[in-house]
Amino acid sequence: MGLEYVLPAGDRDSFLSCRRAWDLGAWERRNLEPRETAPATGADAVRAALAVYYFPGMWDWQPQLVLRLVRTAFLDALPQRHGWDDGLALLEAYFHWAPGIDDMSPIAVTTEVDVRVPDPANPGSDMVSPDGRAVHYRDRPHLLAIDADHRYWMVEHRLTRGPWRAVELLRLDERCLSWCWAFEQAHPGMRVAGTVFNELRADAGLPSVAPARPERRGRLQQSGDGYVRPWSAAKSSEPGAEPEAEAEAEVEVEQTEAFRRVRLPRTTAELSGFGERLAAQVREMVDPELVCYPTPASRRCARCAFRAPCLAMNAGADPARLLAAGYRPRSHDPVPGQLGGGTWSTGRGAAPPTFGRRPAGGGSR
Ligand code: SF4
pLDDT (tens digit per residue) in 317-345: 999 999 999 999 998 876 665 655 666 55
Q: 307: Cβ below 6 Å to ligand 1?
A: yes
Summary mean pLDDT of the chain: 83
Distance, CA 341 to ligand 1 centroid (Å)? 37
- Residue 361 in any domain: the answer is no
pLDDT at 76: 87
The residue range of the domain holding 230 is: 5-329
Q: Which of 19-23, 90-94, 209-213 is least confident?
A: 209-213
Our answer on whether the CB atom of 327 is closer than 6 Å to any ligand 1 atom is no
Q: Whose CA is nearest to atom 5 of ligand 1?
A: 21
C-alpha to C-alpha distance for 54 and 66, rounded to whole angstroms: 9
**How far, in Å, is the centroid of ligand 1 from the Cα of 22?**
9
Region of poorest pLDDT, from 72-76, 302-306, 344-348: 344-348
pLDDT band at 229 (very low <50, low <70, confident <90, very high): very low
Angle at alpha carbon of residue 28, lines to 26 and 29, rounded to 5°: 65
For the chain, what is the domain count?
Answer: 1
What is the rounded CA–CA span in Å between residue 171 and residue 25? Answer: 28
Ligand 1 neighbour 303 (Cβ under 6 A): no
Domain assignment present for residue 277? The answer is yes
Q: Is 340 a domain residue?
A: no
Position 186 in a domain: yes
Q: Is 32 in the pocket of ligand 1 (CB under 6 A)?
A: no
Assess whether pLDDT exceeds 90 at residue 348. Answer: no
Q: Measured between alpha carbons, how far is residue 152 from residues 45, 139, 307, 352 in Å?
A: 26, 18, 41, 11
Closest CA to 138 of 353, 332, 344, 329: 332
Residue 134 lies in a domain: yes
Query: Is the Cβ–Cβ distance between 111 and 54 less than 8 Å?
Result: no
- Residue 124 in domain: yes
* Domain presence at residue 365: no
pLDDT at position 350, please?
42
Does residue 355 lie in a domain region? no
